[in-house]
Structures are given as structure tokens and as C-alpha cells.
Amino acid sequence: MAFEEIVGQERIVEILKKTLLNNTFSHAYLFEGLEGLGKKQMALEFAKGVICSQEGMKPCNVCQTCRRIQEGNYPEVNLIQEDGTIKIEKIRELQKDIQMKPYEGRKKIYIINHAENMTVQAQNALLKTLEEPPAYATIILLTVNGNSLLPTIISRCQILKFRPVEIGKIQQVLMEGRGVSREESRMVSSFSNGIIGRALKLLEDEDFKRIREEVLKLTEEMLRRDTINLLESVDFFTKEKNQIEEILDMLVSWYRDLMIYKETQELHFLMNCDRIEEIQDQSNRIGLKKIRDIIFIIDQTKGNIKSNVNFQLNIEVMLLNIQEVLVW
């Protein structure tokens, strides 16, 4: 890995590179942004840059130090990563460790992943360290939600916000970097919400592919006005209840594609661009107003399900309502 391989966070790369060049490290950083945007890799690159002892551009990414940090095998770079909450004991360990001067390399780096999972006690303990950190130490907090951190912690950190990336850029990375086909990379990046980590995960996610097939099959069944199968597909929704939001989003994306195609005939705005033939076919068979009504029904169901109204009933009503729109 290298700074250049972190997709779409050029602004942050630039800031950190400048810091490395001028040797002006803060004692504490807060990397904030959604899961999958490259926060952890960015922290590792920065750690390499701080510790790498080669001349010239840092990190060099080839010296033994850089390689060991990348492998998580360098004693002065500590990644704190817990499954659940981060308890005060973990921070006490950090505090003990941070007092020991570095013997290998010039600096010590502590990366706390999912810092929002620190208990208040843990945060209070960490605050003491942030107030008087040893000169050789840098602490990098990674979080998906800075609001869960004490304001006193945040105020001691240099904050860098990671933002979602343009779909086109993710598509390009998948095509050029991973050799994924144009259609698949476009479809996957459309469903990634601008999060490169999510796009990469979707590429290999068999569940995503299977569920999507089911959803697209359902749209065809509804068009064929197949009521018996339709009620059977309630089972599918119940079984995949945990993914209901994604499933409803897939359905909306499908009908939105039908609408876009109907109105513009433009292919490059479509999310499901690997299924052009079906989009063309279905959009020829449903009127524009009906497509709008269907999207409205799905959106309404999304809201109802969020407010915890009877799940199965909601799905049945949604399917029957969509069917009614199609038949009428």
C-alpha cells in the first residue's frame, strides 16, 4: 500500500504529506468518516511516514521498517482494535506503554480504531494522556462518529474528515486496478454509496449477488401479475429481514432506472447498467406514472418498517399495492 492507493482522499493525503515533509506532527489526530473510506490505511501510511528513516519522500514503502509496519509487526506502532467497547484497562495499557521511550525508531504511534467505542472512563483516562503526551508519541483516533467522543478529546486533536468518493472514481479504480468489467464496476460502485471499501466488499459478496437476483426476479414476477408467487416471495423478505433496507434500496434503484430510461433513454445514468436489456424490456411495459407510484409505495414501506410496524404485514401490503398499480 501507499498513500497514492487510498482512493479519493487526496486532500487528506496532501495535508499529511506536508506534515511529514515539514516534520510538524501533532500529538493527536482524529480521522473521522464512514467505515470503508480508508481511515485505518491512512493512519498506517502516516505511521510509516513518521518512522521511516530513508532519505527522500516518506514513507518509502520499501525499507524494512515500512514493510514491518504494514504487516502490523513493528513494536512502536500500536493498533488498538477491540471487538466491542474499549474499556479503561486497554487505555491504561496504552498509558503504561507510552511512558517507555522508543528504542527502535524515533517515534511511537498509537492508532485507536473505532474510538467511539471507548467507554466514558476510557475517554477520561485517554484525555490525561492527550493533555501531556510524551514528545515522541502520536495518537491517532479513528471514528465513524465523532459525536460519541468527549468534546475535550476532540479539542485536543487535529481533525481530518474522510468523505465519500465520486462514483466515477470508484468505478475507474475497480476497472483499472482490479480488472473488473465496465458494467460490473459501474453497478457495484453505484451501490457503494461512494465508499470504496463497500465497493470492494460487494465485488466478492455472494449474498449481495444472490439477493439482487431474487429482487430482479421479483420485479419480473410482479409484471407477470403472478399473485401466488408474489405472496410466496414474502418468505424471501422475511428470511432476509436483516437486509431489508438494502433490498428496498435495490428495488427503488431498479424502478428509478426504468424511469430514467423511459424519460431519457440514456444508459450512463443507470445504476443497474449490467441489466440493460431487462431495463429496456420492463420500461416498455410500464407507464411512467405507474413507475412513480411504485417508487412511492416502496419509499413508504421503508418508512413504516423503520418505525417498527408489523414487518410481514408491511411487506405483503407493499407487494399487493405494487401489483395493483401494475394491473390497474
Residues at the site binding Zn ion, with contacts judged by CB under 5 A: 52, 54, 59-60, 63, 66
Rounded least distance, CB 52 to Zn ion, Å: 3
Pairing of strands 28-32, 158-161: parallel
Q: Is the CB of 76 or the CB of 293 nearer to Zn ion?
A: 76
Rounded least distance, CB 51 to Zn ion, Å: 8
Q: At what angle do helices 227-239 and 206-223 cross, to 10 degrees?
A: 160
Q: Is the CB of 63 or the CB of 317 nearer to Zn ion?
A: 63
Query: Using CB atoms, what's the residue nearest to Zn ion?
Result: 52
Q: Is the CB of 74 or the CB of 191 nearer to Zn ion?
A: 74
The helix/strand/coil state of 229 is helix
Q: Is the CB of 50 or the CB of 250 nearer to Zn ion?
A: 50
**Enclosing H/E stretch for 31:** strand 28-32
Q: Is the CB of 77 or the CB of 157 nearer to Zn ion?
A: 77
Please give the Cα distance from 226 to 258 (Å, whole number).
20
Q: Is the CB of 59 or the CB of 146 nearer to Zn ion?
A: 59
Please give the Cα distance from 181 to 193 (Å, whole number).
19
Rounded least distance, CB 59 to Zn ion, Å: 5
8 A C-beta contact, residue 175 and residue 182: yes
Q: Is the CB of 63 or the CB of 127 nearer to Zn ion?
A: 63
Rounded least distance, CB 74 to Zn ion, Å: 11
Rounded least distance, CB 66 to Zn ion, Å: 3
Rounded least distance, CB 45 to Zn ion, Å: 11
Rounded least distance, CB 22 to Zn ion, Å: 18
Q: Is the CB of 52 or the CB of 77 nearer to Zn ion?
A: 52
Rounded least distance, CB 101 to Zn ion, Å: 21
Euclidean distance between the first and final Cα of the chain, in Å? 56
